[in-house]
Chains A and B, each alone.
Chain A
Amino acid sequence: MSKTSNINRVDGFAKVTGSATYSAEYKTPGVVYACLVGSTIAKGRIKTIDTKKAEWAPGVLAVITHLNVDKPAGYQKAKDKHNFGQPLQIFKDDSILYYDQPIALVIADTFERMQYAASLIKADYFKEEHSTELQKAADKEKKVETDKGNDYHRGVHDGYKNAEVIFEADYTIPTEVHNPMELANIIAKWDGNKPILYTKSQGVEGTRRSVAGVFDVPAEDVEVHSEYLGGAFGMGLHTWPYEIAALIGAKKLNRPVKLVLHREQMFTNVGFRPYTIQKMGLGATKAGKLTGLTHEAVAMTSSYEDFMEGTVNMSRFIYDCENVSTRYRIVPLDTCTPIWMRGPGEATGSFALECAMDEMAYKLNLDPIEFRKLNYAEKDLEQNRPWSSKYLLECYEGGMERIGWKNRKNEPGSVKEGDWLVGYGMGTGTFGCYRSPTSVKAKFLPDGNLVLQCSVNDMGPGTATMMTAIGAEITGLSAENVIIEMGKSGLPKGPTQGGSATTSSVGSAVHDACNLLVSKVLGLATENPVLKGTPITDLAFANGVISSTKDTAKTVALTSLLSSNKLDGLEVENQSKGTDEARKYSIYSFSVHFVKVLVNPNLGKIRLAHVVSCADIGTVINQKTSAGQMYGGAVGGIGMGLMEALEIDHRFGRPINNNFADYHVPVNADIEKQEVFFVNKKDPISNPMGTKGLGETALVGMAPAIANAVFNATGKRVRDLPITLDKIIETVKV
Chain B
Amino acid sequence: MKNFQIIKALSSSSAVSNISKEKEAMFIAGGTNLVDLMKKNVVAPDKLVDITGLDLAKIEFLTGKVSIGALAKNSQVAEDASIKEKYPLLALALAAGASQQIRHMATVGGNMLQKTRCSYFYNTDMPCNKRTPKSGCGAIGGSNRMAAIFGASDSCIAVHPSDMCVALAALDAAVLVEGPKGKRQIKFTDFHRLPGNTPEKDNTLESKELITSIEIPDNNFTKNVHYLKVRDRTSYAFALVSVAVALDLKNNVINDVRLAMGGVAHKPWRLTEAEEFLKGKTVSEEIFRKAADLSMKGAKAYGGNDFKLTLGPNAITEALTIAASK
**A interface residues with partner B (beta carbon < 8 Å):** 40, 112, 115-116, 119, 600, 602-605, 607, 642-643, 647, 649, 651-652, 654, 656-657, 659, 661-662, 664, 666-670, 724-726, 729-730
Contact = CB atoms under 8 A, between A and B. Distances in A.
A603 B315 contact: yes
B141 interface: yes
Contacts of B6: none
Contact of B232 (A115, A602, A643, A649): A643
B203 interface: no
A603 B143 contact: no
B317 interface: yes
A40 B119 CA distance: 15
A656 B311 contact: no
A725 B2 contact: no
A664 B240 CA distance: 13
A654 B138 CA distance: 12
B314 A602 contact: yes
Contacts of B123: 654, 656
B279 interface: no
Interface string B288-323: 000000000000000000110011001101100000
Contacts of B3: 112, 116
A116 B232 contact: no
The secondary structure that dominates the A interface is: loop
B238 A661 contact: yes
Given A602-B317, A652-B126, A664 B143 contact: no
Contact of A664 (B1, B117, B122, B237): B237
Contacts of B251: none
B101 interface: no
Given A603-B311, A726-B307, A651 B142 contact: yes
Contacts of A725: 230, 232, 240, 307, 311
B234 interface: yes
Nearest to A671: B234
Contact of A662 (B1, B119, B306, B311): B119
Nearest to A601: B314
Contact of B119 (A643, A657, A664): A657
A386 B261 CA distance: 61
Interface string B12-49: 00000000000000000000000000010100000000
Given A603-B314, A604-B311, A662-B117, A656 B234 contact: no
Contacts of B306: 726
Contacts of A730: 307, 310
B189 to A, nearest CB: 26
A702 to B, nearest CB: 16
A373 B63 CA distance: 72
Nearest to B98: A661
Interface in B56-87: none
Contacts of B125: 40, 654
Nearest to A118: B41
B35 to A, nearest CB: 13
A119 B41 contact: yes
B143 A724 contact: no
Contacts of B117: 661-662
7 contacts: A602-B314, A604-B311, A656-B143, A664-B237, A670-B234, A670-B235, A724-B232
Contacts of A119: 1-2, 41
Interface of B: 1-3, 39, 41, 117, 119-120, 122-123, 125-126, 138, 141-143, 145, 230, 232-238, 240, 306-307, 310-311, 314-315, 317-318
Contacts of B318: 600, 602-603
B235 A656 contact: no
A113 B88 CA distance: 46
Most A C-beta atoms less than 10 A away, residue of B230, B232, B317: B232
A649 B304 CA distance: 12
A116 B233 contact: no
A668 B236 CA distance: 10
Contact of A112 (B1, B120, B143, B230): B1
B1 to A, nearest CB: 6
A76 B60 CA distance: 73
B32 to A, nearest CB: 12
Contacts of B119: 656-657, 662
A139 to B, nearest CB: 25
A664 B236 CA distance: 9
Given A112-B3, A651-B141, A656-B123, A664 B233 contact: yes
B314 to A, nearest CB: 4
Contacts of A115: 1, 39
Nearest to A115: B1
Contacts of A667: 233-236
Contacts of B41: 119
Top 10 nearest A-B pairs by Cβ distance? Answer: A726-B307, A669-B234, A669-B235, A40-B125, A602-B314, A656-B143, A656-B119, A670-B234, A649-B142, A664-B233
Most A C-beta atoms less than 10 A away, residue of B1, B237, B310: B310
Contacts of A112: 1, 3
A724 B306 CA distance: 14
Nearest to B311: A729
B143 A649 contact: yes
Contacts of A643: 232-233
Contacts of A726: 145, 306-307, 311
A603 to B, nearest CB: 5
Most B C-beta atoms less than 10 A away, residue of A116, A600, A647, A656: A656
Nearest to A648: B143
B1 A729 contact: no
Contacts of B237: 661, 664
Nearest to B232: A664
B1 A116 contact: yes
Contacts of B1: 112, 115-116, 119
